[in-house]
Amino acid sequence: MSDGDLAQRVQRGDRRALARLISAIESGDPASEKAVAALVEEVAPAPRIGITGPPGAGKSTLVGAVIAELRSRGDTVAVLAVDPSSPVTGGALLGDRIRMQDHVEDPGVYIRSMASRGHLGGLSPAAGPTIAVLARSGFDIVLVETVGVGQSEVEVMDHVDQVVLVVSPGWGDQIQADKAGIVEITDVFVVNKGDRPGVEVVQRALLERMGGLEAPVLVTAAINGEGVPALVDVIR
**Multiple choice CATH, 45-235, 3.40.50.970, 3.90.1660.10, 3.40.50.300, 3.30.2350.10:** 3.40.50.300
User: CA neighbours within 13 Å on the CB side: how many for 114?
Assistant: 28
Look at residue 176 in the predicted model and tell me its pLDDT.
61
Look at residue 37 in the predicted model and tell me its pLDDT.
92
Look at residue 119 in the predicted model and tell me its pLDDT.
53
Question: pTM score, two decimals?
Answer: 0.87
Nearest to 80 by CA among 117, 19, 134: 134
Residue 71 burial (CB count, 10 A) = 17
CA dist 125 → 30, 108, 151, 155 (Å): 14, 27, 20, 11
Look at residue 51 in the predicted model and tell me its pLDDT.
95
* 206 Rama sector, left if φ>0, alpha if ψ -120 to 50, beta otherwise: alpha
Residue 117 burial (CB count, 10 A) = 14
Nearest to 69 by CA among 222, 206, 180: 222
In whole angstroms, how large is the CA radius of gyration of the chain? Answer: 18
Taking the chain (236 residues) in runs of 10, the rounded mean pLDDT of each run is: 78 92 92 90 92 90 96 97 59 52 84 73 80 96 85 79 92 59 84 92 81 81 96 94
Residue 89 burial (CB count, 10 A) = 7
